[in-house]
Amino acid sequence: MSNSVNPFESLQEQIDDASAYLDAGDDVLEGLKQPQRVLEMNLTVEMDDGTYETFRAYRSQFSDARGPYKGGIRYHPGVNRDEVKALSGWMVYKCATVDIPLGGGKGGIVIDPSEYSESELERITRAFATELRPLIGEDRDVPAPDVNTGQREMNWIKDTYETLENTTEPGVVTGKSLTSDGSEGRVEATGRSSMLVAREAFEYLGRDISEATVAVQGYGNAGWITADLLEDLGASVVAVSDSSGAIRTDGEFDPRAVKDHKRETGSVVGYGGADEELTNEELLTLDVDILVPAALENAIDEDLATEVSADVIVEAANGPLTPKADDVLADEDVLVVPDILANAGGVTVSYFEWVQNRTREYWSEERVNEKLEDVIVSAFDDLVTAYEDEDLETLRVAAYVVALRRVLAASEEGGTWP
Ligand code: NAD
């Protein structure tokens, strides 16, 4: 993994790559390459033993040209200002790629949550929500889960906000549990969009997905559900990994059994059905049909890219390929379905959750999944159309061209203030 690549610079490079196809000057584009504002916070919280600890936290609000800022909250020791800025920008272009009326934001706390008790994590999350309170709101900025956060943290944020505001406003945050105003289908949504784009990519290539082999890097929310849903299509999941290492089988894994093993032991490593343990790098270069990076940024740099053997890469994670890795893979005709489409299921069902919260009318899982499929398949078609009609280099360039045009149109039609 290359940690030397700054994800914020990657985002800016991706915008630059698309800019040649846009009818906009550098002066206008500059405004689309920077967040509107970034808040840096220090949260001092009492630990269970009575001592205090201070945590650095961020929220970046990149653009609200198309709707309220929207994006997840990450708890990870590697969180930093530029990472949060990059992730907030990717949210803008993701929402525009799938054409939902939201902008982009992202937040995070520099923390390894595995080192803290549940009550400590609750106090840390509530301290964060208290600092975020003036910035967020269902029409302002709507957080959601990301790495190491989930329904529990979103429920705490909602409760803190509603208590302090003396109101009920469930749409202030998405990814909540069902009994706390969440949506059916939200937990599975990111993996579901990754599965859908893999299916569409195979159809586009004229290949049968039920014969595909799959390797998944990162076995959390995005990764394991992608694996499970691809298996439902008949594909064979032959290797998976998490931060402790990777496993491979000569046959095919039962994704649920691997997940149960991880839930019980904390890792996929040691799963009884595996034939071999691998390093994470070895997993990324396995000879499989579909590679699903579903962990963190910069998983594949240009050196590793030369060794990738997969035909299709589905970016369930945000920013898993460095821009140079992208160039190498394009030269080798690997079809990369970019993150801003592949994992957009998460924010799409977050949008559905927000709509349901505002109307107080709740939808069936079937309705959510059908609407999600419509959004993702139609966005895939938009990208392929731009890719072919305008002879663009990659589907990523196509995604940025489509998304930037939508953001530019919204900004231009709204005019500039002051
Ligand atoms: P998660 O915390 O549920 O899972 C992350 C997984 O990655 C864990 O299994 C962890 O062990 C593994 N991991 C971490 N470092 C690794 C490494 N170096 N090698 C292999 N595995 C490693 O997080 P998540 O929500 O699934 O997020 C994963 C990615 O998907 C992130 O890039 C996130 O931004 C993106 N994403 C998530 C959502 C969502 O709704 N959760 C939506 C869109 C995008």
**CB of 83 sitting under 6 A from ligand 1:** no
Mark 341-369 as b/e (b = at least 16 C-beta within 10 Å): bbbbbbbbbbbbbbbbbeeeeebeeeebb
Q: Which of 121, 190, 196, 282 to mutate to test the pocket of ligand 1 (most atoms within 8 A of CB)?
A: 190
At 335 the pLDDT is 98
- 147: three-class secondary structure by DSSP: coil
**CB of 148 sitting under 6 A from ligand 1:** yes
E-assigned strand segments in 90-231: 104-110, 141-145, 213-217
**CB of 174 sitting under 6 A from ligand 1:** no
Task: Note if 106 is an active site residue.
Answer: yes
C-alpha–C-alpha distance, residues 60 and 2, integer Å: 24
Q: Are 56 and 74 in contact (CB under 8 A)?
A: no
The protein residue with its alpha carbon nearest to ligand 1, atom 39, reads 146
At 418 the pLDDT is 83
Closest CA to 262 of 292, 224, 230: 224
pLDDT in tens, the chain (418 residues): 445 799 999 999 999 999 999 999 999 999 999 999 999 999 999 999 999 999 999 999 999 999 999 999 999 999 999 999 999 999 999 999 999 999 999 999 999 999 999 999 999 999 999 999 999 999 999 999 999 999 999 999 999 999 999 999 999 999 999 999 999 999 999 999 999 999 999 999 999 999 999 999 999 999 999 999 999 999 999 999 999 999 999 999 999 999 999 999 999 999 999 999 999 999 999 999 999 999 999 999 999 999 999 999 999 999 999 999 999 999 999 999 999 999 999 999 999 999 999 999 999 999 999 999 999 999 999 999 999 999 999 999 999 999 999 999 998 888 888 8
Q: Are 143 and 173 in contact (CB under 8 A)?
A: yes
The protein residue with its alpha carbon nearest to ligand 1, atom 27, reads 147
Q: Classify 301 in phi/psi space as left (phi over 0), alpha (psi -120 to 50) or beta.
A: beta
Pick the atom of ligand 1 nearest to 242's CA: 21
At 412 the pLDDT is 87
Q: What are 91's two structure tokens?
A: 């949210």
Count how many Cα atoms sit within 13 Å of the Cα of residue 357 in the half-sphere of its side chain: 27
Residues pairing with 70 in the sheet: 142
> What's the 167 CA to ligand 1 centre distance in angstroms?
33
* 297 CB-near residues (< 8 Å, 6+ apart): 5, 7, 10, 83, 86, 317, 318, 319, 320
Count how many Cα atoms sit within 13 Å of the Cα of residue 361 in the half-sphere of its side chain: 3
Q: Are 196 and 373 in contact (CB under 8 A)?
A: yes
Q: What angle separates helix 323-331 from helix 7-19, to the nearest 10 degrees?
A: 50
C-alpha–C-alpha distance, residues 213 and 280, integer Å: 17
Pick the atom of ligand 1 nearest to 87's CA: 34
Tell me how far the alpha carbon of residue 213 is from its chain's centroid.
23
C-alpha–C-alpha distance, residues 382 and 366, integer Å: 24
At 2 the pLDDT is 47
Closest CA to 84 of 112, 113, 59: 59
Order the strands of the 213-217 sheet from edge to edge: 276-278, 245-248, 236-242, 213-217, 290-293, 312-314, 335-337
Which residue out of 70, 94, 106, 176 is catalytically annotated?
106
The protein residue with its alpha carbon nearest to ligand 1, atom 14, reads 243
> What's the 293 CA to ligand 1 centre distance in angstroms?
9
Mark 4-21 as b/e (b = at least 16 C-beta within 10 Å): ebbbbebbbebbebbbeb
**CB of 224 sitting under 6 A from ligand 1:** no
Q: Are 90 and 323 in contact (CB under 8 A)?
A: no
C-alpha–C-alpha distance, residues 324 and 29, integer Å: 22
Pick the atom of ligand 1 nearest to 149's CA: 2
Q: Which of 79, 94, 228, 296 to mutate to test the pocket of ligand 1 (most atoms within 8 A of CB)?
A: 296
Count Cβ atoms within 10 A of the Cβ of residue 26 and give its class: 0-12 exposed, 13-18 middle, 19 or more buried: exposed
C-alpha–C-alpha distance, residues 239 and 216, integer Å: 6
At 170 the pLDDT is 98
The sign one gets for the Cα dihedral 190, 171, 72, 341 is: positive
